[in-house]
């Protein structure tokens, strides 16, 4: 089953390849945001867009809603679920540090961004300079108020680094401008409601106080303060914030719409942050501290910035949509790949199955072949053994039967007769046993055509043993490699037939061609050329084809007999055989041949056609004979007028020897070639007498008679009338 193994191997390889492409190292990045607001949303979506450029990055977001505990818990659980890198914006400077330390100590790289922490356990930091931002805003405020004015500062969440740094920067800048007075510093927490409440409370307490500008540490805080001032009524101060976000409610639009006087773009740069994370994960060089640059948004540049930022947002939106589409296509591609893979796997399985089935049948056929071969060998062996046994049995049984019929035996004592009878009975018994043995071993059917011999009367007709046959007696050719059998057969046949012998098929064939016997008795199992082939050759050869063949053999199985008849044999007799049966069979075959030859008697011209066609019809059963007769007839008719035409001439024209022609023609027609030639001449003469005006003498010469008087004699012998009679009629 080697092909099956190969197919399984290929399938495994396929699955390995398929799994390999999916097993490319994936990175899981945890993003811990301290808050949830539009600034964070913007940054998160930028992070996501950044991740689109890296197939192997998964982002995992968590928002703590400005709660230290929640953020600590979220970081711990991110670490627990297994992240490769942590990005964290810590709610406050010191509170979140323990959780960051724990992640870092577990070997997880940490990027702190935008807000700072007091731990040194981080891999990189990215953010804008909040001090500078506060400072620039302080400078702006001083300029905006022309160095004179009263301001309120609303802080960000206490303890968060941007709040501390922005405050420091702002106050230090303001300190340079003595005309600017900070009337109040209110504690906010980056949210609008807190700023609103704090400012409202202050306004309630300080009614009538004139304020020129409120600096909220982010745009939401500034807008909360504005809401409180609006509610309180009276002249509104200027409001400044930080964040300068694009979009509907972003700081840029608020400045553009004059709701805020100025803002400061607090950069989000999520894509840049993601790239830093990937660089760290992939072991590429990276900056430990990255400072993000920023800019002030005022009435002067708000319009341009808004346009630009909206364009960027539009592009981002397009990018998102493109990504969604690409994702959809990738999904489809994945499905198609899967389908292709499944189809391929199914194909290979099918192929493996087919190969398996093919191999199975091949194997089965091979086993079957071997079994058949073994059975054949076994059968051949038993046939051989049986042959070995049957031949000597024939040579005991046959001569014994012959002996029992002689006069010597009839006068023998009762005791001797009894003893001979015992021998005879047991020989037959032994034959029966041999048949049974073959029956049991090969499961075939043994036909013993000689079985009736058992019941035969011992006093059967005396053998023709020593009587010499006459010259005209039919010739029988015996073909057998066993000399004893030949001798025995000769002893049976010689009283009635002239006997020829050959010791194998090949020499048998030569003799059959040379002597053209009237019948052949042949063994089957012989060296050089076996009896079956011999029989086929005899029947194929134009000279010998008409000769009846009796196969005399030990091969007693039905299928062997079928083989024998298929080779063209006319009879099949198994050993040991009864001499009577053999003689009867020979007689019968020769007899049936005589019936054929009556049809070949030449008749007067008018009948010739009809007879020829009848003869042709009979001979048509054997095309070789038919061809022979046709050829013979046409040669005779052609050369009829030649009075010197001899049998030798005819034989030469037929490509045969004189003997061959004689015996073949005699066997087929019962007449000799000379007789047939004379009959043909007389038939032609009769036709001429009736149809022409030639004289009798002229006709005699024309049909090949050398003397008219001899012609007249022969004519009278053949037709019973003299030629002149035919003329009259």
Binding interface with ligand FRU (CB under 6 A): 35, 37, 39-40, 114-115, 156, 160, 162, 190, 218, 242-243, 266
- Find the shortest distance in angstroms from Cβ 215 to ligand FRU: 13
Nearer to ligand FRU, 35 or 686 (CB): 35
Report the distance separating Cα 511 and Cα 661, nearest Å. Answer: 15
- Find the shortest distance in angstroms from Cβ 155 to ligand FRU: 11
A 10 A CB-CB count for 41 gives: 15
Cβ neighbours for 411, distance < 8 A, ≥ 6 positions apart: none
Q: Going along 525-590, which residue ranges are E strands?
A: 549-553, 571-574
Cβ neighbours for 453, distance < 8 A, ≥ 6 positions apart: 401, 428, 578, 580, 581
A 10 A CB-CB count for 709 gives: 10
Cβ neighbours for 436, distance < 8 A, ≥ 6 positions apart: 446
Nearer to ligand FRU, 159 or 356 (CB): 159
Nearer to ligand FRU, 134 or 670 (CB): 134
Nearer to ligand FRU, 39 or 711 (CB): 39
Nearer to ligand FRU, 173 or 699 (CB): 173
Q: Are 215 and 170 in contact (CB under 8 A)?
A: yes
- Find the shortest distance in angstroms from Cβ 92 to ligand FRU: 10
Match 């800048």 to its residue by tokens.
173
Token representation of residue 280: 């760290």
Q: CA 180, 183, 186 angle in degrees (round to 5)?
A: 125
- Find the shortest distance in angstroms from Cβ 58 to ligand FRU: 24
3-class SS of residue 554: coil
- Find the shortest distance in angstroms from Cβ 189 to ligand FRU: 9
- Find the shortest distance in angstroms from Cβ 208 to ligand FRU: 31
Among 116, 45, 69, 70, which Cα is nearest to 323's?
45
Cβ neighbours for 484, distance < 8 A, ≥ 6 positions apart: 391, 395
Q: Are 604 and 686 in contact (CB under 8 A)?
A: yes
Nearer to ligand FRU, 128 or 302 (CB): 128
- Find the shortest distance in angstroms from Cβ 50 to ligand FRU: 19
Nearer to ligand FRU, 111 or 509 (CB): 111
Report the distance separating Cα 600 and Cα 593, nearest Å. Answer: 12
- Find the shortest distance in angstroms from Cβ 279 to ligand FRU: 24
Report the distance separating Cα 132 and Cα 169, nearest Å. Answer: 6
- Find the shortest distance in angstroms from Cβ 348 to ligand FRU: 57
Nearer to ligand FRU, 47 or 586 (CB): 47
Cβ neighbours for 401, distance < 8 A, ≥ 6 positions apart: 424, 453, 578, 579
Match 């009075």 to its residue by tokens.
643
Q: What is the CA radius of gyration of the chain?
A: 65
Report the distance separating Cα 296 and Cα 680, nearest Å. Answer: 143
Nearer to ligand FRU, 100 or 512 (CB): 100
Report the distance separating Cα 459 and Cα 232, nearest Å. Answer: 161
Q: Are 405 and 462 in contact (CB under 8 A)?
A: yes
Nearer to ligand FRU, 35 or 394 (CB): 35
- Are β-strands 124-128 and 110-113 bridged in parallel, bridged antiparallel, or unpaired? parallel
- Find the shortest distance in angstroms from Cβ 166 to ligand FRU: 8
Report the distance separating Cα 441 and Cα 25, nearest Å. Answer: 74
Nearer to ligand FRU, 216 or 723 (CB): 216
Nearer to ligand FRU, 37 or 480 (CB): 37
- Find the shortest distance in angstroms from Cβ 96 to ligand FRU: 13
What letter does residue 690 receive in the DSSP assignment? H
Among 677, 678, 685, which Cα is nearest to 724's?
685
- Find the shortest distance in angstroms from Cβ 224 to ligand FRU: 12
Bridge partner residues of 28 (DSSP): 58
Among 430, 418, 420, 419, which Cα is nearest to 392's?
430
- Find the shortest distance in angstroms from Cβ 35 to ligand FRU: 4
Nearer to ligand FRU, 128 or 509 (CB): 128
């Amino acid at each position: 089953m080697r092909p099956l193994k190969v197919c399984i191997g290929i399938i495994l390889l396929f699955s390995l390849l398929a799994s390999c492409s999916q097993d490319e190292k994936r990175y899981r990045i945890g993003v811990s945001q301290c808050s949830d607001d539009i600034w964070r949303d913007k940054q998160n979506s930028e992070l996501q867009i950044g991740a689109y450029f890296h197939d192997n990055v998964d982002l995992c977001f968590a928002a703590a809603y400005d709660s230290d505990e929640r953020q600590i818990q979220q970081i711990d659980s991110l670490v627990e679920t297994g992240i490769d890198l942590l990005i964290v914006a810590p709610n406050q400077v010191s509170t979140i540090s323990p959780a960051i330390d724990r992640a870092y100590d577990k070997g997880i790289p940490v990027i702190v961004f935008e807000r700072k922490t007091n731990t040194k356990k981080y891999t990189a930091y990215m953010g804008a300079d909040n001090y500078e931002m506060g400072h620039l805003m302080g400078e702006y405020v001083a300029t905006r108020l022309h160095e004179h004015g009263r301001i309120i500062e609303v802080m960000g969440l206490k303890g968060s680094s941007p709040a501390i740094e922005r405050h420091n920067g702002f106050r230090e800048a303001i300190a340079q401008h003595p005309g600017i007075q900070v009337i109040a510093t209110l504690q906010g927490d980056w949210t609008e409601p807190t700023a609103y409440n704090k400012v409202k409370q202050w306004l309630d307490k300080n009614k009538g106080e004139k304020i020129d500008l409120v600096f909220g540490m982010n745009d939401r805080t500034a807008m909360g303060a504005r809401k409180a001032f609006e509610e309180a009524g009276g002249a509104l101060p200027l409001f400044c914030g930080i964040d300068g976000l694009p979009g509907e409610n972003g700081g840029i639009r608020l400045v553009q719409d004059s709701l805020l006087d100025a803002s400061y773009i607090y950069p989000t740069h999520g894509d840049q942050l993601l790239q830093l994370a990937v660089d760290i994960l992939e072991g590429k060089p990276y900056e430990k501290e990255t400072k993000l640059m920023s800019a002030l948004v005022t009435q002067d540049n708000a319009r341009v910035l808004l346009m630009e930022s909206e364009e960027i947002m539009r592009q981002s939106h397009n990018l998102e949509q493109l990504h969604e589409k690409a994702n959809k296509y990738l999904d489809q591609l994945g499905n198609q790949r899967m389908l292709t893979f499944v189809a391929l796997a199914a194909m290979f399985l099918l192929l493996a199955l087919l190969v398996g089935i093919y191999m199975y049948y091949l194997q089965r056929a091979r086993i079957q072949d071997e079994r058949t071969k073994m059975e054949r060998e076994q059968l051949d062996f038993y046939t051989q053994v049986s042959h070995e046994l049957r031949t000597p049995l024939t040579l005991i049984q046959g001569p014994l039967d012959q002996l029992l019929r002689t006069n010597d035996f009839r006068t023998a004592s009762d005791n001797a007769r009894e003893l001979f009878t015992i021998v005879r009975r047991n020989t037959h018994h032994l034959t029966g046993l041999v048949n049974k043995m073959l029956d049991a071993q090969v499961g075939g059917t043994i036909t013993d055509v000689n079985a009736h011999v058992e019941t035969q009367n011992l006093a059967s007709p005396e053998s023709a043993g020593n009587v010499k046959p006459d010259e005209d007696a039919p010739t029988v050719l015996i073909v057998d490699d066993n000399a004893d059998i030949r001798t025995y057969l000769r002893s049976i046949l010689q009283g009635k037939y002239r006997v020829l012998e050959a010791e194998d098929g090949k020499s048998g064939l030569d003799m059959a061609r040379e002597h053209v016997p009237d019948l052949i008795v042949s063994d089957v199992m012989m060296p050089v050329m076996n009896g079956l082939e011999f029989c086929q050759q005899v029947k194929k050869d134009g000279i010998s084809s008409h000769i009846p063949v009796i196969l005399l053999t030990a091969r007693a199985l039905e299928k062997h007999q079928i083989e024998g008849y298929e080779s063209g044999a006319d009879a099949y007799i198994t050993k040991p055989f009864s001499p009577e049966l053999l003689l009867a069979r020979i007689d019968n075959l020769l007899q049936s041949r005589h019936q054929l030859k009556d049809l070949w008697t030449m008749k007067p011209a008018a009948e010739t056609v009809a007879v020829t066609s009848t003869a042709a019809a009979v001979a048509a059963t054997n095309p070789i004979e038919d061809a022979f007769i046709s050829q013979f007839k046409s040669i005779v008719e052609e050369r009829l007028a030649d009075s010197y035409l001899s049998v030798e001439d005819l034989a030469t024209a037929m490509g045969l020897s004189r003997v061959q022609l004689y015996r073949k023609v005699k066997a087929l027609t019962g007449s000799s070639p000379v007789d047939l030639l004379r009959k043909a001449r007389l038939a032609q003469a009769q036709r001429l007498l009736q149809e022409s005006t030639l004289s009798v003498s002229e006709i005699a010469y024309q049909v090949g008679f050398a003397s008219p008087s001899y012609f007249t004699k022969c004519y009278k012998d053949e037709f019973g009338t003299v030629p002149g009679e035919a003329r009259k009629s």
